[in-house]
Chain A
Amino acid sequence: MSLDLSIDRGAMTIGEKLGQISWSLVLLITLVASIGFAMLYSAANGHFDPWASRQMLRFGVGLVAMLLIALIDIRFWMKLAYPLYGIVMLLLIGVDLFGNVGKGAQRWIDLGIIQLQPSEIMKVTLVMVLARYFHGATLEDSGRIPFLIPPLLLVGAPVALVLAQPNLGTSLMLVMAAGALFFLSGVRLWKFGVLIAAIIIAVPLTWQFVLHDYQRDRVETFLDPDSDPLGTGYHITQSKIAFGSGGLMGKGFLQGTQSHLNFLPEKQTDFIFTMLAEEFGLVGSLFFLFLYGLLLLYGFIIAGRCRHQFGKLLALGVTVNLFLYLFINVAMIMGLIPVVGVPLPLISYGGTATLGVMIGFGLLLSVHVHRDVRMSRRGMGDL
């Protein structure tokens, strides 16, 4: 392009980069995370132990990691996309073979300091690798079916491994985030139609041969929640009661009866937004959704301002991931979709999920800092 007036951000000093970091976004992230700390404090009946204190520590670590990632050149991350993907795939295989079983599923590897859930890390890694793959793609490329085979395999492999854990929620998120990237890369809509049709055909087969009993129960319970009021449906019923009884203004901090009397299950993880809604009411829930919406908006703005395809796709991918977390979690706990076990990042207690989104935010910030770097079609640029 002849009229390129941009400066090469790749040549920036650390100080310049720090100046380029969107500190308002960092502040927003910290604010949302702090709401999470408050809810974890409440979930423990007004104690920092066992959840809030540890979550704060993790967030602190995550914050440092995020800033480090942000400062590292985006082209470096682009180069690292495939190797990282390979490493996380190995971890996923490892977790299937040697992982610890939690709640009937093999999900985490005990690394001593942290119980790592590779599937959470895969959410951001998959976005990276797909952004990397589609970075140089023209619309003609995206129109060619042979060109779409490798990325489909890149998606299919981890999805299959996560499904085998079995973790339906994360698999769905991987598929949907990948779908969004395919969509953004210009893949024609009819191809999605064909894929969806294939999935519709595959659903009964999956139901029969792939899904575990407890997963079938969850879907069935969703379709008829009253059929099993003390089983899986009990959680959703109690969650809805917590939402409803919160009303407009809520019952007050530490005053949620549903959560504090333990009617609400998993209140420190998947159902933490329920607790927030019970204690702070509609006003509190809307305020929280507004903050989360702002986070998403930042993602779109950063993508819009980025001048290279990899950055755009990466930023949008991270944002879509964040959105999927929010939507699936909140829709699930309000009884709109089946219980699939997806946490609410920055709020729910959980190490890897926090780490995963902090890495995502780090990449987002890095895209922002390096929005104007020069990149070749092959993506190597001059680092």
Chain B
Amino acid sequence: MSAYDRDAERQRMLSRRTLVLGGMQVAAVSALVGRLYYLQIVERDRYSMLADDNRISLRLVAPPRGQILDRFGVPLAVNEQNFSVTVVSERAGDVRQILDEVGKLVPLTEADERRIQRDLQRSRAFAPITIKENLSWDQVSAIEVNLPDLPGISIDVGQVRSYPFGEALAHVLGYVGAATDKDLEKSDDPLLTLPGFRIGKGGVEKQFDSALRGAAGTQQLEVNAVGRVIRELSRDNGQPGRETTLTLDAKLQHYVHQRLSAEMSAAAVVIDVRTGGIQALCSCPAFDPNQFAVGIGYDAYQALLKDERTPLINKAIAGQYPPGSTFKMITALAALESGIVNADHRVTCSGHIELGSHRFHCWRRGGHGTLDMVGALMNSCDVYFYDLAQRIGMDRIAAMARKFGLGDKVGLELPGERPGLVPDPAWKRRALKAAWHPGETLIASMGQGYVLATPLQLAVMTARLASGHVVQPHLAKSIEGQYREQTEWPRIDVKPENLAVVLKGMNAVTNIPGGTAYKSRITIPGMEMAGKSGSAQVRRISMAERSSGVRKNEDLAWRERDHALFVAFAPVDAPKYACAVFVEHGSSGGGVAGPIARDILLECQMLDAARASVAQQPEPATAPSRPDAGSTGQ
């Protein structure tokens, strides 16, 4: 073969193979074109949706929680700015590592870690999870500076619930906290799944949660790959929480709290006798709801739980105690209404009474001598009421007690109210499977034995006595036009002249020398109060102790001392406020609870007087529209 032929053959082969190569390239490029067609035409809609999924982040907008105000508009629960650091897990990549990085800038406790892990499991990958709230400025800026190295991390400005009155209103307002798994089961409100969202956990915050909470809004955000928000595409703010006005008087509440704080453990309720509006409701000791709003530490919470003075329990509505002698008005009214006795009925007290083989003692060992009904109330003579009890029987007493709000929940808008107990033979058969002893009627007639009442119930009882109307206690004055308080109540089904006898007796207690609480009277004309003391035994006094001399309260351990109670209303002539004071193991109703009741009722009236005089004067232009919550107005 010649060189020419060889060369020509080679050229032909090269041309052939070049053609093959070109053909392969055309085929390959055709494959690319086919793929382009598939992606950009066939699958276009699916990928467009995915692209929008990528860039559009739908976020729930938490509505601002409604404020809680007192009857004069003083804010009791408000929202304050709160900086928090959040993470979006799908953008963070290795969440664990990112959390460790953040932990170097902001210390995270074990409880934080647990909560974060829980939120991570519960939330979808695109939802921001709160790592830590209530950051200081230093922490905020430390994180801001490091944001480029912290994918998925961002700083949020949120709102935290704040309670300006702190402990004073802790039990009434309750507090807010994160939704528990149980809360989530009960409600399908999407807001609950929003990490960091708080719902009412007690008190008014829980009772009116749906009104205070509002409804979720939504926000469409354009975000980039690392979760940074580029712009807002649309926003629906939802329904902000509704402002709730309570019947409370913040200044009075503040005063009552301070007054009760002097005691180991106490509770008091002040109620408007005509409207039933709660003016003040306080239980001491309390807790700081602001701590709960930001998340209370484990140790602090344990300390509250273990305190024998039960700071977490609202004793004003959930504490059930024997009402002691404050119950005697009920026995007296039951007797008068029965027609078996009248106000002139006289009993001679020798210090005790015999019933069967038992001897029932009066609190005064030597006896009171002969007393009528007013005198018996004034001296709180036990023997007189033993006598009444024997004559009218337990059923009448129990029926009268229920008429005045004892023995069942009075229905105040607060969670956790307890019913107390008004015993009668039927109840004892049902509950204890035992027969009623006549002696138990005697014990019950002076508010001991099975009888239990909450301070709230005693306040309601007193309000009904003072007003002669079946006032229902309530806390909500108005909720942004959705609700207005009821202020008119029907007359109570008791003869006015019988009621007058009892009120006269209560007046004698405080305003006639020799009355058990004469020392605690109000001396300012027109502001006088009427009341009734009560000291409830919490231990049994044995015969042996009685014979050797009953030990004085001062000699007993705190836990064994008598409860001190006092119910009162003022002013005597035109009752406006009723008050019940309970001092746990306070020893003496007249001596300890009486002065507190007096101070509270005096404060009520002083505040009214001060407000009336301000209202009469032309207001200066710069005067603040709300009364200052801090001062007591004395």
Contacts and interface: CB of A to CB of B under 8 A. Distances in A.
Interface of A: 1, 138-140, 180, 183-186, 230, 238, 240-248, 257-258, 260-263, 277, 281-282, 285-286, 289, 293, 296, 300, 303-304, 309, 312, 316, 320, 323, 326-327, 330-331, 334, 336
A247 B33 contact: no
Contacts of B10: 138-139, 186, 309
Given A139-B10, A320-B21, A244 B40 contact: yes
B25 A183 contact: no
B574 interface: no
A205 to B, nearest CB: 28
Interface string B23-53: 0010011011101110111011011101110
A184 B19 CA distance: 10
A241 B22 contact: no
Nearest to A229: B90
A286 B14 contact: no
B44 A245 contact: yes
B226 interface: yes
Interface string B85-109: 0000010010000000000000000
Interface stretch (B217-225, B288-296, B549-557): B217-225
Given A138-B10, A244-B40, A289-B29, A258 B21 contact: no
A285 B40 contact: yes
Nearest to A137: B10
Q: Most chain-A CB neighbours within 10 Å: which of B22, B52, B90, B230?
A: B22
A262 B226 contact: yes
Given A244-B50, A245-B50, A247-B48, A261 B230 contact: yes
Contact of A282 (B28, B36, B225): B36
Contacts of B20: 183
A257 B231 CA distance: 13
Contact of B18 (A242, A257, A316, A330): A316
A292 to B, nearest CB: 8
B39 A244 contact: yes
Interface string B142-172: 0000000000000000000000000000000
A242 B51 contact: yes
A183 B40 CA distance: 36
A185 B32 CA distance: 28
Contact of B54 (A180, A241, A334): A241
B17 interface: yes
Contact of B36 (A180, A243, A303): A243
A140 B224 CA distance: 62
B519 interface: no
Interface of B: 4, 6-7, 9-10, 13-15, 17-18, 20-22, 25, 28-29, 31-33, 35-37, 39-41, 43-44, 46-48, 50-52, 54-55, 90, 93, 222-226, 230
Given A180-B21, A263-B224, A245 B29 contact: no
Contacts of A245: 44, 47-48, 50-52
A144 to B, nearest CB: 14
Contacts of A330: 32
A277 B36 contact: yes
Given A262-B224, A263-B224, A263-B225, A312 B28 contact: no
Contacts of A244: 39-40, 43-44, 46-48, 50-51
Among B9, B39, B40, B51, the most chain A Cβ lie within 10 Å of the Cβ of B40
A248 B40 contact: yes
B55 A263 contact: yes
A327 B225 contact: no
5 contacts: A183-B20, A245-B52, A258-B55, A304-B18, A316-B18
B36 A285 contact: yes
Contact of B40 (A139, A140, A246, A336): A246
A336 B29 CA distance: 12
Contacts of B9: 139
Contacts of B50: 241, 244-245
Given A240-B47, A312-B14, A286 B33 contact: yes
A296 B51 contact: no
A180 B14 CA distance: 11
A282 B37 contact: yes
A334 B47 CA distance: 13
Nearest to A312: B14
